[in-house]
Amino acid sequence: MDDETSGRYQPQGRVGLADVERLETATRVHRALDYRKGGGASRERVLAELAREEELLTGARTDEVRKRLRVALADLHNVAGWASFDLGLVSAAQHHFRRALRLAENSGHDGLVANVRYRLGRIALHHDQPTEALVQFAYGEAAAQRASSFRALAILHANKAWAWAKRANQHEASKLLGKAETEFDKAGTDDRAPWSAFFNMIDFDAMTGTVYTELALAGESKAGAARKAIPALSRASVLYSEEMSRSRAFTLMMLAFDHIVSGDREQGVSIGEEALRTATKVKSVRTKARIRPLCAELAKQRGDADAADLARRINIFIKTPIS
C-alpha cells in the first residue's frame, strides 16, 4: 500500500483513542495529498473515510474519545470541503464546511471554528463576493480571539486584506496586511494546529503578493501595485516545495502577471511557462480559474509570438477537463 492510501484504517468494535489517532493521521495524509496534487487527487479518498462517520461517533467508548473524535471528523470534513472547493463543487464544499462547523462548535474548539470560517470566506472571495467573505472572516476572527490563536488571526487578517483589495481599497488592504504580520510574529513556532500549519513565512509572502496583485487587477495604480507584489511572490515561488505544488502554481501565475504589467514582458512569459508546467501537475479547477488574468494579459502583448503561444497553450489547459 502506498503512502497516499496507507492512512485508511478499519476500527474494530468500540472506538478508542488509538482509533481517533489513526483518523488524525489519515487526515494529515489526505491534506498533504491535496496540497501536492489538488482536490482531484484527494477528494474521493476523503469521502471514503467519511463514509464511516456515524459508525465512529456511535462507537465512541467515552465522552473524552467522543469529543476528540468530533474534532478529528470536523477536520476531515474541513479537508473534504477544501478538496470540493478546489474542484468547483461549491455546494458540496459548503456542506462539508457546515458539518465541520457543527462538530467543532459542539466540541468547543474555537481554533478549528476559526479555520472553517476562513475557508468559507475563501469560497466567497474566489467568486468575487468580498462582502460575504468579510462576514465569514469576522466570525472567524471572533472564534480566533476566543481561542487566543495568533496564527488564526494572522490568516484571517491577511485574507481580509485580500477582500479589501478586491474592493480596490489599498489603504485598508495594506493596514490589514500589517495586522496580519503582527499576529504572525506573535505566533512564532507555536500554535501549529494541522489545519493552520500551512501559514508560515512562505505563505505570508504569497498572501502579501496576492493582495498587491489583486490591487493591480482592480486597477488601483496597476503597475505600481504589481511592482509591490513581485518581491514577496518571488521569495514564495522559490521557497515553496513540491509538497505545496498548488500554492506554488498560484504564486507563479501572479508573479508572471505582475512582471508583464510592470513592463518586464520577457520575464513574465518565462515565469508564465513555469506556472503552466506546475499547474498541469495539479488536479484543480481553481488553477484554471486563477491563470485567466495571466492569459488575458498575455493576449494583450501584440506582436510577441512567445506571449501569443503561451496564451494559446493556457487556453487549451483551461478548457481541458480534469482527468
Q: What is the pLDDT of residue 219?
A: 84
Secondary structure of the chain as H, E, C letters: CCCCCCCCCCCCCCECHHHHHHHHHHHHHHHHHHHHHCHHHHHHHHHHHHCCHHHHHHHECCHHHHHHHHHHHHHHHHHHHHHHHHCCCHHHHHHHHHHHHHHHHHCCCHHHHHHHHHHHHHHHHHCCCHHHHHHHHHHHHHHHHHHCCHHHHHHHHHHHHHHHHHCCCHHHHHHHHHHHHHHHHHHCCCCCCCCCCCCCHHHHHHHHHHHHHHHHHCCCCHHHHHHHHHHHHHHHHHHCCHHHHHHHHHHHHHHHHHHHHCCCHHHHHHHHHHHHHHHCCCCCHHHHHHCHHHHHHHHCCCCCHHHHHHHHHHHHHHHCCCC
pLDDT along the chain (323 residues), means of 10: 41 81 97 98 97 93 94 98 98 98 97 98 98 98 97 98 97 98 89 92 98 92 95 98 98 98 97 98 98 98 97 98 90
Q: What is the pLDDT of residue 227?
A: 98
Q: What is the pLDDT of residue 6?
A: 41
CA distances 81 to 34, 158, 279, Å, are 11, 21, 21
Length, in residues, of the chain: 323
Q: What is the pLDDT of residue 220?
A: 66
Q: How many CB atoms lie within 10 A of CB 219?
A: 9
Q: What is the pLDDT of residue 13?
A: 54
Q: What is the pTM of this model?
A: 0.94
Cα angle, residue 199 at apex, residues 322 and 64 outer, rounded to 5°: 95
**For residue 88, which phi and psi values (nearest 5 degrees)?**
80, 15
Q: Which of 170, 49, 57, 56 is nearest to 106 (CA)?
A: 57
Q: How many CB atoms lie within 10 A of CB 172?
A: 14
Rounded Cα–Cα distance for residues 268 and 202 (Å): 21
Q: What is the pLDDT of residue 246?
A: 98
